[in-house]
Amino acid sequence: MSDSEMLARLAAAVENLDSKHVKPLVEQALAAGMKPADILTNGLSEGMRRVGKAFNTGDMFMPEVLVACDVYFAGLAVVRPLLLAGGDDHVIGTMVMGNIHGDIHTVGKNVAMPVFEANGIRVIDIGVSASDDAFVEAIRQHKPQIVGFGTYMTSTFMHTKETVAAIEKAGLRSQVKIICGGPAVDADAARRMGADDASDDAWVAVKKIKRLLGVPAGDE
Ligand code: B12
């Protein structure tokens, strides 16, 4: 089987909620010499991206999205240790990521983080409903170049301003770029609230993060 056929089958396994075949397919792809990042980005994540689109157009419902996530994570469990064991040479930056205070949506964050990791962004997850102080502390401790706010509701997206202000007050704002994510975000509004960018799509966000880091985004 060619690499592109293998990737198509991996994406289809996630999209078709095929929990039985996803793990053996990932193992087969690895045995064939395919790169873990390729398997994740162009196989499993591609399937999850299609699921996200189908959900947004009303062609899939939440229970199916949650099963698709399980399939995605079953495949991810095989490739993730290999990605993390790959050493630092592919790492382009560190990102502290958490949900803004009051926001407990986990699915989007859990889908986005492996996509970022597969693209060389080391992610420190500070969890859901993280206080402004928790962001400040994590920045002090981990010295990231990027901070990601998970904001899945209008109310928590609007809280961006306060969290940015806390980071500013701690004297850390100039050390980090800030990007918001979630279905309620808008890049212009995020900038007006003091962040640097926003995206409702993890794959588009990777390009935006690369631009913020001054790394070629691969589309110019
Ligand atoms: C599932 C869900 C829930 C589940 C969450 C389960 C879980 N463990 O996550 C439950 C039932 C618990 C829930 C609760 C609530 N929810 Co809800 N929920 C949703 C729903 C249906 C899907 C979210 C989802 O998983 N999407 C799929 C993922 C893959 O997409 P995503 O989150 O956008 O993530 C993608 C990108 O945004 C990006 N991304 C994600 N994170 C990040 C982070 C960064 C930094 C970047 C750059 C990118 C990025 O990557 C992902 C892949 O591309 C949405 C509706 C919707 N259309 O989104 C409502 C929704 C988000 N919820 C909503 C609301 C109002 C609530 C509740 C207040 C409901 C209530 N009255 O109790 C509570 C609040 C809970 C809280 N305090 O946080 C509203 C928000 C409306 C608004 N604009 O304010 C929505 C939009 C539904 C609606 N249309 O009304 N919810």
* Average pLDDT for 85-111: 87
Q: Determine if ligand 1 sits within 6 Å of the CB of residue 179.
A: yes
Close Cβ partners of 101 (under 8 Å, ≥ 6 residues apart): 129, 130, 131, 132, 156, 159, 163
Residue count of the chain = 220
Q: Determine if ligand 1 sits within 6 Å of the CB of residue 106.
A: yes
Phi, psi values for residue 169, rounded to 5° = -60, -35
Calculate how far, in angstroms, residue 69's C-alpha sits from the geometric centre of ligand 1: 14
Class of the CATH domain delimited by 3-84: mainly alpha
Res 89: pLDDT: 64
Q: Where are the domains of the chain?
A: 3-84, 93-213
Q: Give, as one character, the DSSP assignment of residue 128.
A: S
| Atom number of ligand 1 nearest to Cα 103 | 78
The lowest-confidence range among 21-30, 109-118, 211-220 is: 211-220
**Architecture of the structural domain at 93-213:** 3-Layer(aba) Sandwich (3.40)
- Give the global pTM: 0.89
Q: Over 80: is that where the pLDDT of 14 sits?
A: yes
Q: Mean pLDDT over all residues of the chain?
A: 92
Res 125: pLDDT: 97
Q: To test ligand 1's pocket by mutation, which of 152, 210, 211 has the most ligand atoms within 8 angstroms of CB? A: 152
Strand order in the sheet with 121-125: 121-125, 93-99, 146-150, 177-181, 197-199
Spatial contact of 149 and 163, defined as CB atoms under 8 Å apart: yes
